[in-house]
Structure 1
Amino acid sequence: MKVLLRAATIYNPASAFHMQQHNVLLENGTITYIGQDEQKADTEVALEGLCISVGWIDMHAYTGEPGLEYKEDLESLSAAAAAGGFTEVLCLPNTDPVVQTKSAISYIKNRSQHYPVTLLPAGAVTVEAQGKDLTEMIDLHEAGAVAFSDGIHPLQGADVTLKALQYMQMFDGLLMNKPEHTRLTENGQMHEGEASTRLGMRGIPSLAEEVMVTRDLQLLAYTGGKLHFSLISTAAAIEAIRIAKAQGLQVTCDVASYQIAFTDETVAPFDTDYKVAPPFRSASDAEAIKEGLQDGTIDVLVSAHTPQDVEGKKLEYDLAEFGITNLETAFAVANSTMELPLDVLLEKFTTNPRRILGLAQPKIAIGEPANITLFNPAATWVPDKNKTKSKSHNSPFYGQELKGRVLGIFHKGQLVLNQSF
């Protein structure tokens, strides 16, 4: 099959065609022509404001398969990812059973091999993600686990974290950890501050994140290895990581693309669609996140896609589950709120996550495999609950106008266009 992307503006600093507008011909999954000449194709994509980049990759998404398919399965996750412009997605291990065996890794890879989106399994660090005994990480690595994390369960024990950092050095593995002292966040519902006091809600203090970042950085300095912090949210945590990077530690971090869309003062009170972990924090934390993204302290933007069914969200606030669906809105939300130049924003979705995960970097060049996201960064749109590809609908962005629209993806020889175009 031949696909022609007509008059597409190319965003790929590694390409000789960066920031140029060309016709791009894709044939049997390979880029065969880039230039101004007319080309014959079976399918032509000619859309106003068409821009292309190498395919976006998400480092933090949850799928319920196996065991919790009513929230999200691999097929719906792939469809939501494609609609959001992602060609590759790292799946957290918090399924039932936990992704902690070679067969579990193989299941995800085999089940999704024909999807247009590549699903990358993360293996659990500890058995059942309970933070006690280490899994057989070498076996999991050889089976195809691209990183190791206990996902939604932060590693609490310093001894376990230390051993994991040491163990992974045998195969140059990456430890991903969500920094949260769970004893300090127990029963917390939103950011601890004036708003939580005014609403009479138990707060989640910034300290719970910051003490764990400090601890893990001390362990990293002691052991060596590679550490990635998932879902950073506070100014002090960002500053600690900035200092650690300057000292030469192999530390990276990400932030949810929605993290500064709201603050603790602007969320809709008691609306569980705004209940996320870490919570929406203060305005000063939001400014620190912007600065961290601009100066490179924060390496990656992630969807933090956490689908929850109706029974998990339509409850009293203190009983409702944390998390929102965000694969389909991740780019638009970041583009609307982060105030980043487009090339910097794209770096957080493309080259940086692949560098951290040790994956090959796609390139928009003749003869290269086509791994491409199609988008219009200036187009506005309104997410519609009735048109979502995810099985779950827990999002605060339905009905809100966002800037930056995904037009489709091309990956694994498959073209997927958003149906509204």
Structure 2
Amino acid sequence: MNFLLKAATVIDPKSPFHKKTVDIQIENGIVTDINTSIKAKDNSKEIQLENLHVSRGWFDSSVSFGEPGYEERETIEHGLEVASKSGFTGIALNPNTLPITDTSASVGFLKGKAQHSAVKLYPIGALTVKSEGVDMAELYDMKQAGAIAFGDYKKSIQNPNLLKIALLYAQNFNGLVLSFPQENHIAGKGMVNEEQQSTLLGLKGIPALAEELQVARDLFLLEYTGGKLHIPTISTAKSVALIKEAKNKGLQISCSTSIHNLLLTDAELVRFDSNYKVLPPLRTKTDVDALQQGVKDGIIDMVTSDHQPMDIEHKNVEFDNAKYGTIGLESAFGTLNTIFGVEKTVSMLTKGRSVFEIENDTIDINSTADLSLFNPEGNSTFTIDNILSSSKNSAFLQKSVKGNVFGIVSDGKIILK
């Protein structure tokens, strides 16, 4: 199908049309013309949207759905539709399914389920068999089947020798290893940040030290082995400092932080709302400030919604018994835009592709049309009516958001809310 985007402001610093308002002709998934005014062809669908802005397609490096095994939380088909209407043209899918994504067959299943979607699904394979942290999974076979990285979602590798071997082995095929930053013996049975707020509320705490010890250990291992390591969803000021030091040494280290850890503090816990029960836990304002500065300085490579749907039976219970996780695809752009502005927000939502070595053409004539469509202006409140996901466990309910996402152009299709 062919489209003509009318009066679209381009947000792409690498594009010759950056910050220019132009018409964009797309034919068979390729940008064939960009000009101040283009007359629609007979076989083109003309798209006119209020204050339309376009950028290269957004990518989320940590998304969970449910299927297979937990379809009541979210299916792949519907989850990808949610991603498209939230502005994402690509998502990395975590291996926290049942069964765990730890074989080439399970990777192939996920890719097969997504083959007709406009959103590209990139599976993350489990680093260990059944994500049990004991035996290394079939990394090379999963890489051949289409896995883009390997890690056990929200489960840290407690055996340092296992991580050492994984980092060494993955170098044979340029594999990227993920290591969740939590030392379980320090974290214990904690569920929120160990600080003044946890004491006031009488909730067991996870000290920042639990994350920082693991980050420091993993960086020592990386320095010894070489290879590529990605630390997902860091949450403390010290973690930012440790990763900055490692990057200055020239190590191939990357990291992300989740949008809720980037914007919210443990002060949200005062109502014992289980939507704020996340892992890593919400930290202090000092940590939030350090994370935001880390994003601005480029120490933190990308942000993620860390989208984790959870059915009401696992969230609408006592805080102690609730499962971890919040959805975040729908609120990602609007919440980031309130703090960082449109250009930095777009940068944060597109940078992850380079770490995972996923191509993303700049917006130019003859480039692949992989675009996010949005209006960066207009303030509103994020409510349950804005949630498209099957599960409604959002930490951003009743929070201010700025802007509106229209949808995407990808794989020769246009998806609009």
Tell me whether the two structures share a fold, i.e. TM-score over 0.5.
yes
Q: Does 1:52 align with 2:54?
A: yes
1:186, distance to aligned residue in structure 2 (A):
2.6
Q: Which residue of 2 aligns with 1:117?
A: 119
Match of 1:75 in 2: 77
Question: Which of 172-181 and 392-401 deviates more?
Answer: 392-401
Contact 1:76 1:389 (8 Å CA) reproduced: no
AA matched with 1:359: I
The alpha-carbon deviation at position 17 of structure 1 amounts to 1.0
User: Per the alignment, in what secondary structure is the counterpart of residue 258 of structure 1?
Assistant: helix
2:263 aligned counterpart, secondary structure: coil
What SS is found at the alignment partner of 1:90? strand
Cα distance in 2, alignment partners of residues 382 and 353 from structure 1: 27
State the partner residue of 1:30.
30
Q: 2:4 touches 2:25 (CA, 8 Å); kept in 1?
A: yes
Structure 1 residues 397 and 105: CA distance shift in structure 2, 3 A:
same
Q: Report the alpha carbon displacement of residue 386 of structure 1 after superposing the two structures with TM.
A: 4.0
Larger helix share, 1 or 2: 2
Aligned position for 1:377:
376
Unaligned runs of 5+ in 1: none
Task: Give the unaligned 5+ runs of structure 2.
Answer: none
CA shift, 1:341, in A, is: 4.6
Task: Single out whichever of 356-365 and 208-217 deviates more from structure 2.
Answer: 356-365
Q: 3-state DSSP class of the match of 1:278?
A: coil
Matching residue within 270, 273, 276 for 1:271:
273
- Aligned counterpart, 2:407: 408
CA distance change for structure 1 residues 381 and 115 in 2, over 3 Å: closer, same or farther?
farther
Distance in 2 of aligned mates of 1:386 and 1:403: 16
Q: Match for residue 177 of structure 1?
A: 179
Alpha-carbon distance in structure 2 between the residues aligned to 1:62 and 1:186: 25
How much does 1:259 deviate? 1.4
Q: Which residue of 1 aligns with 2:21?
A: 21
Question: Shift of residue 306 of structure 1?
Answer: 0.7
- Percent identical among aligned pairs is 38
Q: Name the counterpart of 1:3.
A: 3
In 2, Cα distance between the equivalents of 1:29 and 1:245? 38
1:264 is displaced (CA, Å) by: 1.2
Which residue type is aligned with residue 321 of structure 1?
A: K
The 5-angstrom pairing of residues 294-309 of structure 1 reads 294-309=296-311
Please name the residue that 2:246 is paired with.
244
Structure 1 match to 2:166: 164
- The answer to whether the 8 Å contact 1:258/1:333 transfers is no
1:387 to partner: Cα distance: 5.0
Q: Which moved more, 1:237-246 or 1:404-413?
A: 404-413
Q: Kindly provide the amino acid, as one letter, of the partner of residue 411 in structure 2.
A: K
Tell me the residue number matched to 1:224.
226
Map 1:271-350 onto structure 2 (within 5 A): 271-336=273-338, 339-350=339-350
Partners in 2 of 1:226 and 1:116 — Cα distance?
A: 29
Please say if residues 52 and 375 of structure 1, whose CA atoms lie closer than 8 Å, have aligned partners that are also in contact: yes
User: What is the Cα deviation at residue 385 of structure 1?
Assistant: 2.1
* Whole-Å separation in 1 of the counterparts to 2:232 and 2:32: 38
Aligned equivalent of 1:197: 199
Say whether 1:186 aligns with 2:188.
yes
Structure 2: which amino acid aligns with 1:375?
F
Task: Map 1:79-118 to 2 at 5 A.
Answer: 79-118=81-120
Contact 1:257 1:331 in 2 (8 A): no
Per the alignment, in what secondary structure is the counterpart of residue 37 of structure 1? Answer: coil
Matched with 1:137 is 139
Give the TM-score, by structure 1 length. Answer: 0.96
Q: Structure 2: how far apart are the matches of 1:54 and 1:416? A: 15
Determine if contact 2:187/2:207 at 8 Å carries over to the other structure: yes
Does the aligned pair in 1 maintain the 2:360–2:370 contact within 8 Å? no
SS in 1 for 2:352: helix
* Residues 63-120 of structure 1, C-alpha deviations (whole Å, 9 max, x = no match): 2111111111101210111121100000001111111111111111111111111111
> 1:178 Cα shift?
1.4
CA shift at 1:265, angstroms? 2.0
Shift of 1:396: 2.7
Matched to 2:38, the amino acid is E
Match of 1:356 in 2: 355
Q: Write the distance in 2 (CA, Å) between the matches of 1:231 and 1:348.
A: 14
How much does 1:400 deviate? 3.0
Tell me which stretches of 4 or more aligned residues in structure 1 moved more than 6 Å.
none
How far apart are the structure 1 equivalents of 2:30 and 2:378?
28
Paired residues in the alignment total 415
Q: In the alignment, is the contact (CA less than 8 A) between 1:268 and 1:274 conserved in 2? A: no
- Tell me, in whole angstroms, the C-alpha distance in 2 between the residues paired with 1:386 and 1:70: 20
Residues 36-88 of structure 1: CA distance to partner in whole angstroms, max 9, x if unpaired?
12321532222222110010000001121111111111012101111211000
Root-mean-square deviation over aligned CA pairs: 1.3
Tell me the SS of whatever aligns to 1:260: helix
